[in-house]
């Protein structure tokens, strides 16, 4: 390969505008890869935490004990935090002797608010990948157009234009488009994969909210005299935590 047509030499010989475009796209690509790996590992932790709590939830353990245990944990999964929000609100409204409908509405609102916060956190930086995937090719194309314009201006000063003189200038301009695609393609693929995984987690959390609401509905307005038995677990009577 002609050393004058190597990637490094073409970038070094490119115009300052093209070099800035290439540097920006390369930096964007590095940041997007960091975001991709961070999101992949983060979603894996979320799925592991949710699945572990769900097994514990259906294991027959007291809901009041689970609520107290969550309060003592340094790190909790999204599903645990949603459960804790609903449970706290349910017990608080039960202490006030409100009717069953008010207890359920309060618990559901608390869980939906917690759910929205959790989804917002899980979806963080996802829009960055979408922007990289949609904008990078156009930025690369801008660098290519600018490089070709710069090349044709230089051709005007030559007495004789040959392939040897044209090829390097065109090649250095096309590098910008290539790097733009290099930044965009992984970002688009990762965005689609992460969006699908986040949708699955969101559906899992919504399903849990409905299941937990049904459990609370069977126990809302229960008698204070005795602890109520539900799905193999127990909710303490009014006033208990």
Strands 233-235 and 228-230: antiparallel
pLDDT in tens, 190-228: 999 999 999 999 999 999 999 999 888 887 655 333 333
Query: In the chain, what are the domain boundaries?
Result: 22-222
β-sheet bridge partners, residue 124? none
Binned at pLDDT 50, 70 and 90, residue 11 comes out as confident
pLDDT in tens, 125-146: 999 999 999 999 999 999 889 8
Tell me the C-alpha distance between 239 and 241, whole Å. Answer: 7
Q: Residue 126 corresponds to which tokens in the numbers above?
A: 């996802």
């Amino acid at each position: 390969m002609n050393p004058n047509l190597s990637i490094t030499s073409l970038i070094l010989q490119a115009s300052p505008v093209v070099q800035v475009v290439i540097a920006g796209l390369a930096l964007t690509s590095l940041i997007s890869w960091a975001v991709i790996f961070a999101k992949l590992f983060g979603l894996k932790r979320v799925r592991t935490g949710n699945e572990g709590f769900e097994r514990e939830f259906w294991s027959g353990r007291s809901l009041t004990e689970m609520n107290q245990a969550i309060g003592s944990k340094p790190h909790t999964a999204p599903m645990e935090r949603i459960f804790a929000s609903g449970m706290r609100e349910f017990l608080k409204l039960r202490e006030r002797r409100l009717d069953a409908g008010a207890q359920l509405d309060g618990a559901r609102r608390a869980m939906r608010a917690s759910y929205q916060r959790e989804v917002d956190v899980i979806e963080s930086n996802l829009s960055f990948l979408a922007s990289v995937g949609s904008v990078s090719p156009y930025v690369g194309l801008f660098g290519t157009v600018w490089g070709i314009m710069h090349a044709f201006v230089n051709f005007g000063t030559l007495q004789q234009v040959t392939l040897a003189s044209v090829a390097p200038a065109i090649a250095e301009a096309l590098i910008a488009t290539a790097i733009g695609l290099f930044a965009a393609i992984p970002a688009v693929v990762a965005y689609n994969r992460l969006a699908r995984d986040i949708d699955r987690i969101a559906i899992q959390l919504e399903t849990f909210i409905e299941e937990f609401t049904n459990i609370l509905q069977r126990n809302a307005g229960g008698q204070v005299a005795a602890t109520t038995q539900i799905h193999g677990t127990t909710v303490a009577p009014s006033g208990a935590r």
